[in-house]
Amino acid sequence: MIIITGGAGFIGSAMLWELNRKGCRDIIVVDALGSTATGKWKNLSGLRFADFTPREQFLQLLEKGSFGKVSAIIHMGAISATTETDADLLIERNFSFSKSVASYCMATDTRLIYASSAATYGDGNAGYEDDETGLFSLRPLNMYGYSKQLFDLWALRNGVLGKAAGLKFFNVYGPNEYHKGAMSSVVYKAFNQIRETGTASLFRSYRPEYRDGEQMRDFVSIRDCTSIIAWLLEHPEVSGLFNAGSGKARSFNDLVTATFRALGLEPAITYVPMPEALQGRYQYHTCAAMRKLVQAGYSASMTPLEEGVTDYVRNYLDTPSPYFDMHSRQ
């Protein structure tokens, strides 16, 4: 039995698909689906799992042993909005909830793989090395990143990182992100803008060393993320914090150009002012150091940006059925 918290969310439902295509269906999905208007439930409709448990009931049922023998918990459930301003809610969902899940896993010798975030790196001045010894020097730019860092620090102090694996996800794109609204990837936003107006918009740069649209991110395909999680499930001896990125920084111009090309169109990009609230806490360059994961034994190659965007646009966004399901392309 494998439990996926946040199993109806972006990475969680993609991981459910990954497990399904490997023949695994003995899975419990834990989540809060919210309003039907978000369409989050659609992430599950083409996939297979044994049961669904509402988030509010999960910890009580877990501590009572209601799920029987659990081989692994893939803990992806969290508030993932970098713009969330309710600090107490972020502490409750991203820190306290995670501590309860981790404590159960440590007490029962259950494999734990959990989602941290590249947002813990802040403005990047401390680098993007996933070395636990550098955790205390990181200064996240928003409360979301801080809530993730708090758990990483707690996990380090309490020996969790000696048994569990945490993943610092960078800028993930791919199917099943459609419920995320403002937090969805630039590929998804650009695709919709292109379909509606024929153009795509990006933020202007407010630093002279970066031209408009040349702000850089480590964009990583959701398929690569689920591949990493699947590998960690197969290698329970591997523990610690690991980056989950492509290992390459590419510009937003590159990303949007790839989206236009996937649609067979010439790029038409406009640059718009960045909201003032973002200007002081905006990352201009991120790039995951992937050496640690490779040294641990992970050998799969990461999907090149143009290939990943083309697959996402042509095989999902530009089709009648944009979700992962049992018939999704391998």
- Tell me whether strands 171-173 and 269-272 are parallel, antiparallel or unpaired: unpaired
Mean pLDDT across the chain? 95
Q: pLDDT tens-digit profile of 199-235?
A: 999 999 999 999 999 999 999 999 999 999 999 999 9
> Per-residue pLDDT tens for 241-266?
999 999 999 999 999 999 999 999 99
pLDDT (tens digit, 9 = 90+) per residue, 177-201?
999 998 999 999 999 999 999 999 9
Strand partners, 30: 5, 53
Strands 250-251 and 216-217: antiparallel
pLDDT at 129: 95
Alpha carbon dihedral 56, 111, 84, 284, in 10-degree steps, equals -170
Helix (H, G, I), strand (E, B) or coil at 220: strand
pLDDT above 60: residue 330: no
- Give the other-Cβ count within 10 Å of 65's Cβ: 11
Q: How far apart are CA 65 and CA 69, in angstroms?
A: 8
Tell me what pLDDT residue 156 has.
97
Tens digit of each residue's pLDDT (9 = 90 or more) over 38-63: 889 999 999 999 999 999 999 999 99
**Catalytic residue numbers?**
144, 180
Residue 37, pLDDT score: 81
Alpha helices by DSSP H, listed for the chain, are: 10-21, 55-63, 87-90, 97-108, 143-157, 186-197, 222-234, 252-262, 276-279, 291-295, 305-312
Select from 60, 3, 65 the least CA-distant residue to 28: 3
Out of 117-131, 164-178, 292-306, which region has the weakest mean confidence (pLDDT)?
Answer: 117-131
> Is 329 a residue whose pLDDT tops 80?
no
**Domains, the chain:** 2-171+218-246+289-299 (3.40.50.720)
Q: Which of 73, 46, 313, 69 is nearest to 188 (CA)?
A: 313
